[in-house]
Amino acid sequence: MTEHRVAKPFLKWAGGKTQLINDIAKALPQRLDEEKFTYIEPFVGSGAVLFWMLNNFPNLERAIINDINEDLINTYKTIATKPQELIAILDILQEEFHSLEEKTEEKKEYYYSKRALYNKRTEEQSGQSALFIFLNKTCFNGLYRVNRKNEYNVPMGSYKRPTICDKENIWAVNEALQRVEILCGDFENTLYWANENTLFYFDPPYKPLNETSSFNAYAKEVFNDEEQVRLRDFCNELDALQSTWILSNSDVKGKNANDNFFDELYAEFNIQRVEAKRSINANPKKRGLLKELLITNHNKVYAMFY
């Protein structure tokens, strides 16, 4: 295939940023149109903003992505280097799963056997990545949740014939990733690349609005208030290096008017409150409009999007 394909996220991921892209676009610095730059996303997740940036900014010379979730990052690496192998395995998984459409019990057995195989982590790289995508497309609400032993424990979802093997998009992502350096580890590892021509977008695990909204469960590590402070310190460091950054987080003030956690933490920077729909929430009643924070260390407006 030779036509240009537009890459999009190949996973469902809690906190996926597709809904927030217009607001992020408005918060970008103007010079992205004029100068070459490096885009860095230290908490990449499913990469909604990454792919949007890669598709829309010819001046984006290269991108650096990072996440602490090893299985996720391995899947990015597989798509970048072995798309054909991955597609071949996904094709089989899709065919087998679809053939069980009417057989509820067998379908369940199939899902749980693949989940057990995934948790053994004995498959080679493309097999393991295919299982990761399979589980993401067939599990309950596209969640990623592991226990302390790093065992994936999300039950089966109720999709009839989910697309498990989206060949077109895997090839498009493969092409897009040729400009991307893929790292696995803590967000601070990205400091090495920071300079005045870098734009960082941070989408950390959000501070939970209450005890039960536990969107912190992306990886076995927890992201608590101390981590939020460590991230702010990192943003200070980047600011001193004249890197530009944008960060999103939950608006805890919306829930409790006296909660100034982020207003105090980022008092020196620009804080905007924007409306955003959360796409993954187990309770449909909670899928309504919530405010989120967009914080930047610059205040120029990217005019093209008005």
Ligand X SMILES: C[S@@+](CC[C@H](N)C(=O)[O-])C[C@H]1O[C@@H](n2cnc3c(N)ncnc32)[C@H](O)[C@@H]1O
Rule CB under 6 A: say whether 221 interacts with ligand X. Answer: yes
Strands 37-41 and 180-184: unpaired
- Residues 6 or more apart whose CB falls under 8 angstroms from that of 109 comprise none
Q: Which residue pairs from 258-267 have beta carbons closer than 8 angstroms and sit at least 24 positions apart in sequence?
A: 261/207, 261/225, 261/228, 262/207, 262/293, 262/295, 265/228, 265/229, 265/232, 266/232, 266/235, 266/295
Rule CB under 6 A: say whether 205 interacts with ligand X. Answer: yes
Strands 198-202 and 289-296: unpaired
Q: How far is the CB of 189 from ligand X (least distance, A)?
A: 8
Residue 104, SS3 per DSSP: helix
Q: How far is the CB of 35 from ligand X (least distance, A)?
A: 24
Reading across the β-sheet that carries 60-67, which strands appear in turn?
180-184, 60-67, 37-41, 198-202, 244-250, 289-296, 270-277
- Residues 6 or more apart whose CB falls under 8 angstroms from that of 2 comprise none
Kindly report the number of other CB atoms within 10 A of residue 223's CB atom.
22
Q: Which residues between 29 and 68 bind ligand X (CB under 6 A)? A: 42-43, 45-46, 48-49, 66-68
Name which position in 76, 79, 118, 203 contacts ligand X (CB under 6 A).
203
Which residue from 85, 73, 54 is spatially nearest to 178, judged by alpha carbons?
54
Rule CB under 6 A: say whether 187 interacts with ligand X. Answer: yes
- Which region, judged by CB under 6 A, interacts with ligand X, from 91-99, 199-207, 261-269, 270-278? 199-207
- Which region, judged by CB under 6 A, interacts with ligand X, from 55-63, 115-123, 203-211, 262-270? 203-211
Q: Read off the tokens for 128.
A: 């393991």
Q: How far is the CB of 132 from ligand X (least distance, A)?
A: 13
Q: Which residues between 121 and 150 bind ligand X (CB under 6 A)? A: none
Which residue from 75, 54, 64, 68 is spatially nearest to 11, judged by alpha carbons?
75
Residue 111: what are its φ and ψ, rounded to 5°? -60, -50
Q: How far is the CB of 149 from ligand X (least distance, A)?
A: 17
Q: How far is the CB of 98 from ligand X (least distance, A)?
A: 26
Rule CB under 6 A: say whether 234 interacts with ligand X. Answer: no
- Which region, judged by CB under 6 A, interacts with ligand X, from 154-162, 219-227, 270-278, 293-301? 219-227
Residues in contact with ligand X, counted by CB under 6 A, come to a total of 23
Q: Which is nearer to ligand X, 136 or 297 (CB)?
A: 136
Site string for ligand X, 244-283 (x = CB under 6 A): ----------------------------------------
Provide the binding-site residues for ligand X, judged by CB under 6 A: 13, 15-17, 42-43, 45-46, 48-49, 66-69, 186-187, 203-205, 218-219, 221, 223
